[in-house]
Amino acid sequence: MSTPDTRPTSEQWPIAAAMLPFPASQDAPGDAWVDHLAEVAYEGFTEVDLTDSWVRVGDLTPARVDELRDALRVVGLDPVALSAIRRSVIDPVAGDDNLAYSHRTIDAAAALGVRVVSVGLHRPLLPAQREAFWFWTEQGPVDANDVETWDLAVHRLRELGRHAAEVGVALSLEMYEDTLLGSAASAVRLVNDIADDNVGLNPDLGNLFRLHGPVEDFQAAVEACLPVSNYWHVKSYFRDEDREAGTYVALPAPMEMGSVSYRTAIRTAVEAGFTGPFCVEHYGGDGLSVAARNARYLRRMLAVATGEARASVLRAAGGDR
């Protein structure tokens, strides 16, 4: 359990921008990387998540890793985290390759000074998902749920966690629908079965809340997941349900306007002792501007949850309680 002496203040708390809004830039010149990262810094961010849909650091040469480090330095961004997405280590086809890629990514992340690497069990989008306006409205790949698949996930993710610990990086497991990390109960069980203090959960519950079908209660999932979480992708959606008609709709929304209360969720997280970094995400439109808005909102909610807001109001009002 964190205490006021061990957790960051609301202003100190690492809140990273995801690089999701930017195009794939693996082979781009270093100046293009600087251009993209400068946009992030201009929006007020001091931390960034090096999402590998932008640059796959695990596939960079050492010289290009140095080039990326220089780009981060010149714009003043701290690469607090790296998210390796859709590279499941239990993918029936590409699992072995994805495991090797994940190991390379951990080493490159450590060289860049990254503190958390987030991996998941979600796989590449299927053709129907790529063609849809919102990819989550179409069915994606589904993990097998047999003992052999579960044991393989435990073994390989534990292997990655131990490697990460050796190079001073934490490993976080991103929740995603139709995977072994696709519900609060299954995700917490997987973390507990891995049983490595260096491996925690990334409770990206927005991935589940946006589904066009019944979903588990958001706040109950937060209560279950945050005690074993070490990193958190946050985003929100407007959601509407007509269960009798069987219709469900979810559209991306700024965190303060969406259909779940992050005011409540952040308080739950702080009370559970969560001290990990956040990563603000948004799909559609100007995702970076909405992410920046989300970061400002998140700092306010952290101030509320930690008691800083109350203390500030009482000081300003001359109160003595």
Looking at residue 4, its pLDDT comes to: 66
What mean pLDDT value characterizes the chain? 96
Looking at residue 1, its pLDDT comes to: 46
List beta partners, residue 48. Answer: 17
pLDDT tens string 194-222 = 999 999 999 999 999 999 999 999 999 99
pLDDT tens string 260-269 = 999 999 999 9
The domains found in the chain, sorted by start residue, are 15-317 (3.20.20.150)
pLDDT tens string 257-308 = 999 999 999 999 999 999 999 999 999 999 999 999 999 999 999 999 999 9
For residue 158, count CB atoms less than 10 angstroms from its CB and return exposed for 0-12, middle for 13-18, buried for 19 or more: middle
CA distance 53 to 86: 9
CA distance 58 to 71: 17
Mean pLDDT for the stretch of residues 77-101: 98
Please report, rounded to a whole number, the percentage of residues in the chain having pLDDT higher than 90.
97
> Which CA distances in Å does 315 have to 4, 8, 92, 312, 318?
18, 21, 59, 5, 5
Confidence of residue 318 (pLDDT cuts 50, 70, 90): confident
pLDDT higher than threshold 60 for residue 43: yes
Cα dihedral 182, 231, 61, 111 in deg (nearest 10): -150
